[in-house]
């Protein structure tokens, strides 16, 4: 079908770009990380958001090639920011379930880190609960190998999937990302407020870091701070931006 053909050609022609969204340490008022988000620069349609092509890339398997490109691009950017003298913050990359299930993922990640000269701790991989729960023992081995290498792992969209708390304890993950659907109505919906507070409490109990996604307003930020959530990401601070513009945000100190 047409989108699949166009996507295949886009991979061949390298029509993708990475944007980066800062994560802010709200106590220290500084950028503490960035998330890499891929965009497709289609010569005809312009900038295509990932929601429109990631699902097709997943279905067709093109996500493996695209995902490798994203990983390499993110690591090159880490290197470039390092060489330009910017403060070093981890860069998060989204891994689709299919990428996560590749048996040689760990070796691929290791090779890209070596090739770009990036310390493993500067890379954070975001996986979803479904990636972890699909086949738990394999996932555990994969996560363990990445953690042993020193790569950070975050659970994306946390709270929307079906992860078991018992398993969560077994996985050596670095942090939980509170899904933005809970943050949206945090100030008006008691249930969302309770869920957000529970995730923050869970993270604290398990000694995991926590980051809130989709923070758009000052009252949301205040509520998150009150609950003890120190790291926030969202339009209140910055939309995902091209790398050059993120450097300006580093320069401004968030
Ligand atoms: O950037 P945006 O908010 O439009 O992203 C929409 C969705 O696409 C999010 O769920 C995000 O995780 C996903 N996404 C963005 N970039 C990547 C990527 O490089 N790889 C994968 N697998 N998903 C991505
Ligand atoms: O699934 P994932 O968490 O990777 O999704 C990231 C997506 O969230 C990106 O598409 C990004 O553009 C979007 N996003 C980031 N900050 C905000 C925000 O404050 N509000 C909304 N609505 N979307 C956001
Ligand atoms: Mn993400
Ligand atoms: Na998310």
- Write the ipTM: 0.97
**Helix (H) / strand (E) containing 24:** strand 16-25
Residue with tokens 């960035």: 34
| Ligand 2: centre distance to CA 233 (Å) | 8
Compute, in angstroms, the gap from residue 180 CA to the centroid of ligand 2: 7
Ligand nearest to the CA of 214: 2
240 lines ligand 1 (CB under 6 A): yes
Expressed in angstroms and rounded, the spacing between residue 126 Cα and the centre of ligand 3 is 6
Q: Report the interhelical angle of 105-116 vs 62-83 (nearest 10°).
A: 30
Residues 178, 204: Cα–Cα separation, whole Å: 13
By most ligand atoms within 8 Å of CB, the mutation choice from 37, 157, 236, 238 for ligand 2 is 37
Following DSSP, what letter does each residue of 174-188 receive, concatenated? -EEEE-HHHHHTTTT
With vertex at residue 97, the alpha carbon angle to CA 95 and CA 103, rounded to the nearest 5 degrees, is: 90
Ligand 1 centroid distance, CA of 237 (Å): 19
85: helix, strand or coil: coil
| pLDDT for position 252 | 77
Domains in the chain: ranges and CATH = 2-252 (3.20.20.450)
Could you tell me the pTM of the whole model?
0.96
By DSSP bridging, strand 123-128 and strand 231-232 are unpaired
Q: Which two tokens stand for residue 162?
A: 């079906």
Of 157, 178, 160, the closest CA to residue 224 belongs to: 178
Distance from residue 52's CA to the centre of ligand 1 (Å): 10
Q: Give me the tens of pLDDT residue by residue for the chain, a chain 254 residues long.
A: 588 999 999 999 999 999 999 999 999 999 999 999 999 999 988 999 999 999 999 999 999 999 999 999 999 999 999 999 998 899 999 999 999 999 999 999 999 999 999 999 999 999 999 888 888 899 999 999 999 999 999 999 999 988 788 888 889 999 999 999 999 999 999 999 999 999 999 999 999 999 999 999 999 999 999 999 999 999 999 999 999 999 888 877 64
State the Cα–Cα distance between residues 165 and 52, nearest whole angstrom: 32
Q: Closest-lying ligand to the alpha carbon of 50?
A: 1
pLDDT at position 2 is 86
Token pair 């990401």 is found at: 233
Nearest CA to ligand 2 atom 16: 234
**What is the rounded distance in angstroms from the CA atom of residue 112 to the CA atom of residue 162?**
31
Closest by CA position to 154, among listed 208, 89, 206, 228: 208
Q: Is 227 in the pocket of ligand 2 (CB under 6 A)?
A: no
Is the minimum distance from the CB of 21 to ligand 2 under 6 angstroms?
A: yes
């Amino acid at each position: 079908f047409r989108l699949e053909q166009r996507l295949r050609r886009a991979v061949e022609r390298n029509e993708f770009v990475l944007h980066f969204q800062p994560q802010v340490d709200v106590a220290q008022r500084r950028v503490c990380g960035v998330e890499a988000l891929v965009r497709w620069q289609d010569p005809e349609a312009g900038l295509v958001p990932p929601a429109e092509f990631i699902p097709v890339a997943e279905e067709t398997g093109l996500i493996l090639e695209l995902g490798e490109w994203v990983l390499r691009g993110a690591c090159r950017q880490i290197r470039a920011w390092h060489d330009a003298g910017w403060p070093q913050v981890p860069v998060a990359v989204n891994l689709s379930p299919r990428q996560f299930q590749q048996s040689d993922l760990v070796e691929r990640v290791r090779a890209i880190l070596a090739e770009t000269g990036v310390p493993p701790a500067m890379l954070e991989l975001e996986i979803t609960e479904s990636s972890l729960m699909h086949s738990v023992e394999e996932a555990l081995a994969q996560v363990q190998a990445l953690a042993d290498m020193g790569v950070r792992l975050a659970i994306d969209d946390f709270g929307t999937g079906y992860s078991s708390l018992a398993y969560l304890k077994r996985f050596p993950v670095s942090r939980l990302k509170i899904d933005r659907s809970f943050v949206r109505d945090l100030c008006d919906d008691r249930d969302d407020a309770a869920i957000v507070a529970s995730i923050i409490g869970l993270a604290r109990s398990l000694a995991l870091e926590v980051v809130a996604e989709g923070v758009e307003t000052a009252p949301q930020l205040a509520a998150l701070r009150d609950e003890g959530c120190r790291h926030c990401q969202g339009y209140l601070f910055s939309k995902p931006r091209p790398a050059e513009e993120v450097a300006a945000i580093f320069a401004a100190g968030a």
